[in-house]
């Protein structure tokens, strides 16, 4: 069923949750366990859950002796190779409490642009969900190049939501909602609800990320629009509020989906 309102979140059949690097790495690595708690709660009520998780590069950085995100592609790839292994291990160790098994899915933009690998990815995730495995999706940073990268995992999450015909997309970060202007600026007002097709006239959306990841409010709004066009309800919320968000409580910003959208875009 298409999740058209917050009140229908508890009934969502297929849910994609995206979490940013800054929310689950470095000093915030402890947020993995409450995130997993919320995912397991949805899983226990019968929902099919897919996690799109950034964080491979950020997780690998300390093991390469790096204090800041590398700018050259080769070092990014090396950090991702180390960090992806550790990231999946941390998730699986936390999921073990609920006897949930994770399945790693690494994608490049080309995988979802070309019909054959796109169909393979769709079939693999459908089978994982059928088997009650929790897919954890990330960009394949080790082999991706600047020319073929998604650019940020907000976009990847919206493409995955469309690919698997998700009812709900939850975009998590260290910001609790969309605001009328960057939330640190005077006069910023939280936006509770965005109707489908609303151009958000007068809203000033910032594009600056945390310095750990690559996203920002601009990428989240673009991702929300894409997923809504594909028929998924979208909620922007803070990682710390994930449990409340996935219970349909009034947190974050809700984007109405297009009603009667095609099965996938």
Q: Which domains does the chain have, with CATH numbers?
A: 6-255 (3.40.1160.10)
How far the first Cα of the chain sits from its last, in Å, is 17
Checking if the pLDDT of 113 tops 90, the result is no
- Which 8-state DSSP code applies to residue 11? G
DSSP string, 21-50: HHHHSGGGGGGHHHHHHHHHHHHHTT-EEE
Checking if the pLDDT of 210 tops 90, the result is no
pLDDT (0 to 100) of residue 217: 82
pLDDT, tens only, 64-96: 999 988 888 889 889 999 999 999 999 999 999
Q: What CA–CA distance (Å, rounded) separates 203 from 212? A: 25
Q: What is the mean pLDDT of the chain?
A: 88
Other C-beta atoms lying within 10 Å of the C-beta of residue 6 = 19
Feature table: binding site: 18, 54, 141, 153, 173-174
Feature table: binding site for substrate: 54, 141, 153
pLDDT (0 to 100) of residue 129: 97
pTM: 0.91
pLDDT (0 to 100) of residue 213: 44
Of 211, 110, 214, nearest to 152 by C-alpha is 214
Feature table: binding site for ATP: 18, 173-174
Beta bridge partners, 135, equal 103
Of 155, 140, 153, 150, nearest to 104 by C-alpha is 140
């Amino acid at each position: 069923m298409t999740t058209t309102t917050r009140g229908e979140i508890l009934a969502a059949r297929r849910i994609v949750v995206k979490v940013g690097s800054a929310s689950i790495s470095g000093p915030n690595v402890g947020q993995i366990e409450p995130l997993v708690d919320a995912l397991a709660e949805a899983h226990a009520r019968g929902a099919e859950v897919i996690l799109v998780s950034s964080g491979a590069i950020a997780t690998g950085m300390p093991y390469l002796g790096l204090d800041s995100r590398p700018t050259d592609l080769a070092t990014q790839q090396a950090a991702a190779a180390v960090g992806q292994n550790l990231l999946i291990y941390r998730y699986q160790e936390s999921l073990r409490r609920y006897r949930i098994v994770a399945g790693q899915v690494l994608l490049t933009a080309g995988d979802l642009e070309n019909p054959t690998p796109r169909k393979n990815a769709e079939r693999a995730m459908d089978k994982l969900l059928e088997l009650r495995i929790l897919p954890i999706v990330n960009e394949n940073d080790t082999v991706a190049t600047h020319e073929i990268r998604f650019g940020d995992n907000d976009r990847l999450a919206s493409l995955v939501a469309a690919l698997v015909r998700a009812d709900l997309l939850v975009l998590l970060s260290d910001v609790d909602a969309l605001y009328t202007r960057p939330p640190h600026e005077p006069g910023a007002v939280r936006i509770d609800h965005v109707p489908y097709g609303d151009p958000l006239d007068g809203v000033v959306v910032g594009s600056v990320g945390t310095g750990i990841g690559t996203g920002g409010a601009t990428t989240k709004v673009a991702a929300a629009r894409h997923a809504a066009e594909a028929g998924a309800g979208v909620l922007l919320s803070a990682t710390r509020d994930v449990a409340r968000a996935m219970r349909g409580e009034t947190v974050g910003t809700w984007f109405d989906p297009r009603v009667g959208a095609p099965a996938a875009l």
